[in-house]
Amino acid sequence: MHEMAIAEQILRTALPLVREHGAEKILEIRISIGVLSGVVPSYLEHALTELSRGTAAQGARLVASYVPPQIRCDACGAHSEGKRGLYVCPVCGSEKIRITGGSGYKIDDLLVE
């Protein structure tokens, strides 16, 4: 399952930071999710709850924000935000575009205590 693997990676990144900062637990995990990543936040939250049991991240709140797809136009070179399922350059109307972002996820911030 996609979300399990991501939750695991989040914890692998987040848990060492807690120790590094001399904190005891994570209160909140803020992440950005690309809309093209296919990650379902409620599944991810469930996965995190399962995996964080007994760790410093137990009970942490997951705050997810969405990142729209980023596209680059090969015809005019414009960088813009794409809409899901509609990939044309909003500047020149060309369909020769490349997707340059919005398919991954990243941790933005951790609230620790």
Which residues bind to Zn ion, rule: CB under 5 A? 73, 75-76, 78, 89, 91-92, 94
Dihedral sign from CA coordinates of 63, 41, 104, 58: positive
Minimal distance, residue 49 CB to Zn ion, in Å: 44
Minimal distance, residue 96 CB to Zn ion, in Å: 8
Between 42 and 94, name the residue whose CB sits nearer to Zn ion. 94
Q: Starting from the edge strand earliest in sequence, which strands make up the sheet with 79-81, in order?
A: 79-81, 70-73, 97-101
Between 39 and 71, name the residue whose CB sits nearer to Zn ion. 71
Minimal distance, residue 80 CB to Zn ion, in Å: 8
Alpha-carbon gap, residue 65 to 31, rounded angstroms: 6
